[in-house]
Amino acid sequence: MGDETMDKADIQAGRLDSEALAENFADVHQPLDQTAALVEAQRCYFCYDAPCTAACPTGIDVPGFIRAIATGNVSGAAMTILTENILGGSCARVCPTEILCQGVCVRNNVDGRGDQPVAIGMLQRHAIDHLDPAAAHPFLRASATGKSVAVVGAGPAGLACAHGLARQGHEVTLFEARTKPGGLNEFGIAAYKVPDNFAQEEVSFVTAIGGIDMRYGLALGRDIALDDLRRDFDAVFLGLGQDGVRALEVPGGDLAGVHNAVDYIAALRQADNLAALPVGAKVVVIGGGNTAIDIAVQSKRLGADDVTLVYRRGPAQMGATVHEQEFAQINGVRIKHWLRPLRLEGRGGEVRAAVFAAVRQSDDGSLLDAGTEQSLPCDMVFKAVGQAFVPPGDVGLQLAAGRIAVDQDGRTSLPDVWAGGDCVAGEDLTVQAVQDGKIAARAIDLFLRENGS
């Protein structure tokens, strides 16, 4: 049927003027001003053995820092946060607080009042933003140990580990495959969550402790070898992330206009001029995680007329939180569920439609075709069905479920190599990566001290 494909692809840059783009990609949350922060901080009950702290992967003393805000000790609040989470600034912006600290705030339990949880993320941001960027780094380094550690990957896990090690007096060399540090904070998170070069400013803050030598453009398995690192350093931490994009094997995947969401987001994050980014008139996003939400919303905010996010299961099974799903919807993204991608159809080598099979869930949880198809006309398709860890060649690391196997301290099967972040099993969250790096730094520090000089 002719109206189920687009007659003409309409991919173009500059759908919106620069003013509209600036507005669309500015800070998605207005920061709390001092009065608002005070009022919000005073809503905290200062719970005993607080559930929010237990829910935080980095274990931030949430009632403690909020009370400090309430008393006007805002720099003390920032230190309370940074003591457990040196990337507290980005976590305040990107954490899915609705399923972590704020999800367990006892104010959610107050019956009949429809009470809202304390806005912990916004308060955390208020505290961290209070720090004077021109001031000296707030943590002191211990005296030099003479030990050196190679940290691979300058994302949240690597940065947290490097900071923890540097603080203990070790010398850290931080290898990053890209030309810029920050990991997903710089290349993956939606632009409006970390605007104004925040990721780079945070890296500068973290590395200002000293003792961290940054090396860019060096990828493990390509430019540097694990064996060499193990030989040249006293210990190694791998914060490699997940560089692989899970394949979506459907016919038509090679048509023009079909993109991996992560690649497009990385390009968007690095773009000097958003008006130069081409985007389709009708966009289909395939996937149900936060990356799918991020590319769908950003497409819409670049000026796409019509953005449809298609997920093969229901809202409850989506990797994106309910909050993120609602955020997409209020941004004008249509979400369709229970549709399995069948094929992408094109004309002249350009994608014109995405065709899905309607599915339903069987009793055992598997998906069964319901027998009907739906064709969504489109001129741009984003694949966002997940990322995967790509091992850096056969370097003797044991894997578990496709990622690096580690013990509870983040130690790998190699006695002098630790790993953390998205390259190991666990929640793929910035805050979890920070915790992995922090834990590994403690274990490495202990290891280096026990192994004498």
Considering beta carbons, is residue 55 or 224 the nearer one to another protein? 55
Under a CB-based contact definition with an 8 Å cutoff, are residues 116 and 199 in contact?
no
Considering beta carbons, is residue 49 or 132 the nearer one to another protein? 49
Q: How far is the CB of 46 from another protein (least distance, A)?
A: 7
Considering beta carbons, is residue 12 or 71 the nearer one to another protein? 71
- Calculate ∠ Cα 394-238-248, nearest 5°: 65
Considering beta carbons, is residue 52 or 206 the nearer one to another protein? 52
Considering beta carbons, is residue 40 or 171 the nearer one to another protein? 40
- Calculate ∠ Cα 331-126-20, nearest 5°: 30
Q: How far is the CB of 50 from another protein (least distance, A)?
A: 8
Say whether 44 sits in a helix, a strand or coil: coil
Under a CB-based contact definition with an 8 Å cutoff, are residues 180 and 204 in contact?
no
Residue 80 parent element (H or E): helix 74-84
Q: How far is the CB of 125 from another protein (least distance, A)?
A: 20
Q: How far is the CB of 53 from another protein (least distance, A)?
A: 11
Work out the burial of residue 30: count CB atoms within 10 Å of its CB; fewer than 13 is exposed, 13-18 middle, 19 or more buried: exposed
Q: How far is the CB of 48 from another protein (least distance, A)?
A: 3
Considering beta carbons, is residue 111 or 394 the nearer one to another protein? 111
Q: How far is the CB of 129 from another protein (least distance, A)?
A: 21
Q: How far is the CB of 110 from another protein (least distance, A)?
A: 6
Would you give the distance in Å from CA 93 to the centre of its chain? 10
Q: How far is the CB of 107 from another protein (least distance, A)?
A: 7
How does DSSP classify residue 117?
P
Residue 343 parent element (H or E): strand 339-347
Q: How far is the CB of 278 from another protein (least distance, A)?
A: 48
Under a CB-based contact definition with an 8 Å cutoff, are residues 420 and 443 in contact?
no
**Angular region, 303: left φ>0, alpha ψ -120 to 50, beta rest:** left
Considering beta carbons, is residue 57 or 410 the nearer one to another protein? 57
Residues contacting residue 120 through CB under 8 Å, at least 6 positions apart:
52, 62, 66, 97, 101, 102, 105
> Mind giving me the DSSP string for 357-385?
EEEEE-TTS-EEEEEEEEEEE-SEEEE-S
Could you give the residue ranges of the DSSP H alpha helices within 255-321? Answer: 261-270, 290-302
Instruction: With CA atoms as reference, report the closest residue to 397 among 388, 384, 385, 410.
Output: 410
Could you give the residue ranges of the DSSP H alpha helices within 271-384? Answer: 290-302, 322-330
Considering beta carbons, is residue 50 or 292 the nearer one to another protein? 50
Considering beta carbons, is residue 48 or 408 the nearer one to another protein? 48
Say whether 340 sits in a helix, a strand or coil: strand
Instruction: With CA atoms as reference, report the closest residue to 368 among 338, 335, 336, 342.
Output: 338
Considering beta carbons, is residue 43 or 347 the nearer one to another protein? 43
Q: How far is the CB of 70 from another protein (least distance, A)?
A: 8
Under a CB-based contact definition with an 8 Å cutoff, are residues 381 and 344 in contact?
yes
Give the interface with another protein as residue ranges (CB under 8 A). 38-39, 42, 45-51, 54-55, 70, 104, 106-107, 109-111
